[in-house]
Amino acid sequence: MTTLRTPGPTIGVVGGGQLGRMLAEAAAPLGVEVVVLDPTPDCPAALVARDQIVADFDDEAGIRDLAERADILTFEIELADQNVMDRISEETGTPVHPKPSTLETIHDKLVQKRELEDAGVPVPPFRKVDDADDIRAAIDDYGAPVMLKARTGGYDGRGNVPVESKADAEDALESVAGPAMVESFVDFEREVSVIAVKGDDEVATFPLGENVHEDEILRETIVPARSSEAVTERAYDVARDVLEVMDGRGVYGIELFEATDGEILLNEIAPRPHNSGHWTIEGTQTSQFEQHIRAVLGWPLGSTALRSPTVMTNLLGDVEEEGLAQLGDIDEILETPGASLHWYGKHQARPLRKMGHVTVTADGDDDSVDDLLETARDLKAAVTFQS
């Protein structure tokens, strides 16, 4: 039986970027307070959160302070140090969700893939890389090109290096500079993702999203994905199998390949709300951020029903070099029926930095996702980053 009080429960979030900001936005109507820990003064989440602790993501004193102020700890970046969080959770009695062990599993892509494969989750062929010979052997087995991945620390495509031929193996390995793994390239029809939620005693999946990447950075999410019903169901099945492997409550962003033969293969997992789930703020009855708040608190999950077809487009820093964040010509976004603007409040714009996003929901029954995608692209083209 859930009871609301004032002040409500406090969630301590390691990380205060746009995910922390949107978590705090979702927490406020429920009377839930959010305190974030982030090294950047006046980080994006600071505007909406109850408070920010200015400290590095692995700063023990800062995390202890956060744990002492919070009823539950969670994180919005994978840079959180699982050992530190585990120990401080033990010391302070403040639970962490998802569990640090899950963070540890996900942190090392090789460990992640092995555990998931063991659990029956379909993954592309992969192998551990100790030296360039392993890459060449992978090319023999899977065919060129293959994808060389840093086992730890990569995100938004950083640490991923395509290897076109055996001759490139040495150079590729050098550029990754650290423990690595190699995967077969998937010949995919499209990339899709399931935002899945593990609650106290229940799970939920959001409608399948179709993701458009460029230079390995997410540009657009289209919902519902233009996949067949059978493929969509397969994606939900895989997502539920992934949740079985994850330990602890919360939202997981599960990125998948829809192969040309209709198979679903796991690509990556994020143990937190995910960029490809931002569309849920307007597109579903309960957003991924509200679900994460509910899940980590052990509250009942909400409905993930689609309210209307929806397209989300990222506003990436379209600048030559770092400078003050200024986005001009937003009038068309503000004036377009069904368009919603989200500005993350970052002080500096950098090339390809995620500065905000625009969501477009169907305005009438006639809008197809293709129409919405066209509108979203027009709106993005209308705004300009100024320096």
Q: Do 146 and 139 form a contact (C-beta atoms < 8 A)? A: yes
Does 303 bind a second copy (CB under 8 A)? Our answer is yes
Which C-beta is closer to a second copy: that of 163 or that of 293?
293
Q: Is 387 known to sit in a ligand binding site?
A: no
Which C-beta is closer to a second copy: that of 127 or that of 294?
294
Q: Which stretch binds a second copy (CB under 8 A): 144-152, 168-176, 261-269, 294-302?
A: 294-302
Binding mask 161-200 for a second copy (x = CB under 8 A): ----------------------------------------
Question: CA-CA-CA-CA torsion for 182, 238, 98, 220, nearest 10 degrees?
Answer: 80
CB of 175 to a second copy, least distance (A): 34
- The letter for the amino acid at 292 is H
Distance of alpha carbon 209 from alpha carbon 273, whole angstroms:
14
Which C-beta is closer to a second copy: that of 96 or that of 301?
301
Which C-beta is closer to a second copy: that of 91 or that of 200?
200
**Of 178, 329, 370, 387, which one interacts with a second copy (CB under 8 A)?**
329
Q: Which stretch binds a second copy (CB under 8 A): 43-51, 96-104, 142-150, 169-177?
A: 43-51
For the beta sheet containing 51-54, the strands, ordered from the edge strand earlier in sequence to the opposite edge, are: 51-54, 33-38, 10-14, 72-75
**How many Cβ atoms are within 10 Å of 372's Cβ, its own excluded?**
26
Does 331 bind a second copy (CB under 8 A)? Our answer is yes
Q: Which stretch binds a second copy (CB under 8 A): 5-13, 189-197, 243-251, 257-265?
A: 5-13
Of 1, 36, 30, give the one whose Cα is nearest residue 18: 36
Q: Which stretch binds a second copy (CB under 8 A): 18-26, 113-121, 223-231, 261-269?
A: 18-26
Q: Do 269 and 261 form a contact (C-beta atoms < 8 A)? A: no
Q: Is 186 known to sit in a ligand binding site?
A: yes
Does 342 bind a second copy (CB under 8 A)? Our answer is yes
Distance of alpha carbon 67 from alpha carbon 72, whole angstroms:
7
**Of 226, 234, 274, 294, which one interacts with a second copy (CB under 8 A)?**
294
CB of 303 to a second copy, least distance (A): 4
**Strand bridging mode 33-38 / 51-54:** parallel
Which CA distances in Å does 51 have to 38, 45, 64, 96? 11, 9, 15, 19
Report how many residues bind a second copy under the rule CB under 8 A: 54
Residue 3 CA from chain centroid, whole number: 30
Distance of alpha carbon 242 from alpha carbon 364, whole angstroms:
35
Which C-beta is closer to a second copy: that of 49 or that of 176?
49
- The letter for the amino acid at 57 is F
Does 353 bind a second copy (CB under 8 A)? Our answer is no
Distance of alpha carbon 125 from alpha carbon 187, whole angstroms:
12
What are the backbone dihedrals phi and psi of residue 154, each rounded to the nearest 5 degrees, phi first? -85, 145
Of 80, 116, 150, 148, give the one whose Cα is nearest residue 254: 116
Does 17 bind a second copy (CB under 8 A)? Our answer is no
- The letter for the amino acid at 307 is R
Which C-beta is closer to a second copy: that of 30 or that of 203?
30
Does 381 bind a second copy (CB under 8 A)? Our answer is no
**Of 175, 260, 347, 381, which one interacts with a second copy (CB under 8 A)?**
347
Please report, in range form, the residues annotated as the binding site.
109, 149, 183-186, 191, 213, 267-268
Residues that bind a second copy (CB under 8 A): 1-8, 21, 24-25, 28-31, 33, 47-48, 50, 285, 294, 299-303, 305, 307-308, 324-331, 334-338, 340-347, 356, 361, 363, 386
